[in-house]
Amino acid sequence: MGIGHTRWATHGKPTELNAHPHSSMNAHVVHNGIIENYGELKKEFSENKFLSQTDTEVMVHLFDKFFEETKDSFQAFEKVIESVDGAYAILLITEKDDGKIFFAKKGSPLQIGTEKGEVFFASSDAPLIGLASEAIYLEDNTYGYVTIDEIKVFENGQETTFVKKALATSKFTAQKEGFTFFMEKEIYEQTNVLNDTILGRVDSEKVLFDEIDDDFFVGIEDITICACGTSYHAGLTASYLFGRLAKVKTTVEIASEFRYKDPVLRQNELFVVISQSGETADTLEALKMAKKAGLKTLAICNVDNSSIVRESDATLLTRAGIEKGVASTKAFSAQVTVLWLLALYVGQVKNRISLEDLKKEIKAIGKIKDVTKVDENLRNRIHRLSKRYLHGHGFFFIGRDLFFPLALEGALKLKEISYLHAEGYPSGEMKHGPIALVDSELFTIALMPETLLYDKTRSNVEELSARDSTICAITPTDFDLADDLIKTAKTNHPMLEFFEMMIVVQILSMEISIRLGNDVDMPRNLAKSVTVE
C-alpha cells in the first residue's frame, strides 16, 4: 500500500520538502487542490511542527489531534475533512489503521480504479489504463476509505452507493512512436487526428452530431463560451465562426475571470465550455455556475468521463487521443475543428446558412487533412530560421479576424516552451500602444492570410517594418518587407489558411525551444492539467 503525488506543491517553492507526501507522527497525506483556510488552521499548532510551506501539511497535524480525541482513524479523518475549506482530492494513510487508504474529494478530480486484488487512485483515466479494468468516478463532497477487500464511500456522514464503469483497455497513443518529443509527435499526427474528429460528423451537405438531440438548440439565441489558455483561444476562434456561419452572437470568457464577475446569464444562451483535460478547475466551476443558473450546457472536451464531461448536459468529444505535451497542439486543432462543425450545425438547424455555402464549408473541412500534414521542406526551413529568433526583447504575433486568436495561440506556445516574451495582438491594435516597443530587436511574427483581410494586415505589418521590427511573415504571397518569409500553400478558404499557419507557429515555437535546450514536453512551472484555481 502506498500513496504518491507527482506534482510540486502549490504553496512554497518547488523543493523536496514542499513535495508530497506530508507526514506527521501518525499520518501521511497527498493532496491535489488548495486548502484555503490552512493559515487559520495552522494557528492551532506551534510553528515548529511544520516542515513545509504547504497548505497540505496542516491536515496530518489535524489528523493527529483528532485521533488523539477520538482514538478512531475514520472519525479523525472525517473531522479533518469537516475542518478544511477549498478544493481537494486527498489520500491519507495512517499506521493506526494499516491497510486502509482514506480519501476525500471536493472540486479536484479523483477516481478509483479497480482490478482483481488491486485498488488504485488517480485524477483521470489515463494513468489507470492498463492497470485497472473499472473505475469509480467520485462525486464532490464524498469521502471514505478502501482496503484490498472493500470500498466505502460516504456523503454527509451516510454511506452512499457508487457505480463502477468499464475503463478503456488500450493506451497505445501515449507513446512517442519514434519522435523525440511528444509535442513533435502530436504536431505531426494532427492530420490523422482531425480526420478522426470529423469522422461520421459530415456528409456532403450536412453536419451530423449524434451526441446532440435535434431540439438541443431550440430556444437558444446566444452562446457564451468559457475556457482557459489554449482552449480559450479555440473559443475565440469559434466566436468568429458562430457569427459568420450561424449568425449567433457569441461571447467568449476566460473562466477564471467569469467565475468572480457576477456574470449576467440568460436562459436563452447556451453555455459552452472547452477543455482538453476536462479537469481545469476554473472551467469546471464556471460550468457549475452556469448549470446552477439553469443554462443549457455543452462541453467540447478531449477526455471522456472527465469531470467537465460528467457535469455537462451534452458533450462533443474532440477525439484527439491522449495529449502528453504540456503545450497543447492537437487538442487545439481538434477543438477548432469541432467548433467549426458546430457553427455549421447551428447555422443548419436554425436555417441561417444556405445549402450552397454549407456545401462549400463542408468541402473545405474535407481538406483539413491535407493542410495539416507537416511538409518536411517547411519543417527544415523553420528549423534553419529558428536560430535567428533565440534572443531579442520580445515577439509580437499579429493577425486579424480568425488570425487574431491564432496569434494569441502562437504567442502562448512560444512563451510556454521557449520562455521568451511573446504577445499576440490584433494587427490593427499596433498603433494604440504596442508599436511603442518596436525596434530591430522586437520580432514580429505576422500572420498574413491571402483569403482574409490581406491588405489591411499588410499595411499593419508595413507600419512595424517602418519602425525597424524584424519581420517574419507567414503567408502564401511574396512580401518584400519581410526579413524572413515562411511560405504557406495557397488555398481558397480562410480556415484552411488558419490550419496551415497553426502548423507553422507550432513548429516555430518547438524549434526555438529545442535550440534553447529547453524541455519541450514539460516546460518549467507548468502542469498539463490545472486542477487548482
SS3 of 52-88: the string is CCCCCCHHHHHHHHHHHHHCCHHHHHHHHHHHCCEEE
Interface segment toward ligand M6R; rule CB under 6 A; list 139-147, 198-206, 226-234, 473-481 = 226-234
Which cell goes with 26? 501518525
State the minimum distance, in angstroms, from the CB of residue 530 to ligand M6R: 5
Q: Which of residues 44-103 bind ligand M6R (CB under 6 A)?
A: none
Residue 457 lies near ligand M6R (rule: CB under 6 A): no
CA torsion angle 371 377 380 385 (round to 10): -80
Beta bridge partners of 118: 115
State the minimum distance, in angstroms, from the CB of residue 276 to ligand M6R: 3
Q: How many chain residues bind ligand M6R (CB under 6 A)?
A: 16
Q: At what angle do helices 330-349 and 190-198 cross, to 10 degrees?
A: 30
Q: Tell me, residue by residue from 160 to 199, as one string, x for binding to ligand M6R by CB under 6 A and - for no binding.
A: ----------------------------------------
The side-by-side arrangement of strands in the sheet containing 165-166 is: 118-122, 111-115, 134-137, 165-166
SS3 of 91-150: the string is EEEEHHHCCCEEEEEEECCCEEEEECCEEEEECCCCCCECCECEEEECCCCEEEEECCCC
Residue 312 lies near ligand M6R (rule: CB under 6 A): no
Q: Which of residues 260-279 bind ligand M6R (CB under 6 A)?
A: 275-277
Residue 280 lies near ligand M6R (rule: CB under 6 A): yes
Interface segment toward ligand M6R; rule CB under 6 A; list 13-21, 184-192, 228-236, 353-361 = 228-236
State the minimum distance, in angstroms, from the CB of residue 524 to ligand M6R: 12
**CB-wise, 52 or 337, nearer to ligand M6R?**
337
Look at residues 236, 173, 174, 176 and name the one whose alpha carbon lies nearest to residue 412.
Answer: 236
Q: Are 469 and 460 in contact (CB under 8 A)?
A: no
Residue 531 lies near ligand M6R (rule: CB under 6 A): no
Q: Are 26 and 124 in contact (CB under 8 A)?
A: no
State the minimum distance, in angstroms, from the CB of residue 280 to ligand M6R: 3
Beta bridge partners of 304: none
Q: How far is CA 503 from CA 330, 440, 449, in A?
A: 10, 26, 14
Gap between the Cα atoms of 506 and 330, Å rounded: 10
- Tell me which of 10, 328, 469, 475 binds ligand M6R, using CB under 6 A: 328
- Tell me which of 52, 108, 142, 231 binds ligand M6R, using CB under 6 A: 231
Q: How many residues does the chain have?
A: 533
State the minimum distance, in angstroms, from the CB of residue 52 to ligand M6R: 25
State the minimum distance, in angstroms, from the CB of residue 398 to ligand M6R: 20
Residue 327 lies near ligand M6R (rule: CB under 6 A): yes
The side-by-side arrangement of strands in the sheet containing 296-301 is: 250-254, 222-227, 269-275, 296-301, 314-317
Q: Which residue is nearest to ligand M6R (CB)?
A: 229
Q: Are 55 and 35 in contact (CB under 8 A)?
A: yes
**CB-wise, 412 or 422, nearer to ligand M6R?**
412
Residue 437 lies near ligand M6R (rule: CB under 6 A): no
Q: Tell me, residue by residue from 283 to 302, as one string, x for binding to ligand M6R by CB under 6 A and - for no binding.
A: x-------------------
State the minimum distance, in angstroms, from the CB of residue 187 to ligand M6R: 12
State the minimum distance, in angstroms, from the CB of residue 258 to ligand M6R: 13
Q: Which of residues 395-414 bind ligand M6R (CB under 6 A)?
A: 412
Look at residues 59, 66, 17, 23 and name the one whose alpha carbon lies nearest to residue 41.
Answer: 59
Residue 529 lies near ligand M6R (rule: CB under 6 A): yes
Gap between the Cα atoms of 327 and 319, Å rounded: 17
Residues engaged in binding ligand M6R (CB under 6 A) = 228-231, 275-277, 280, 283, 326-328, 412, 416, 529-530
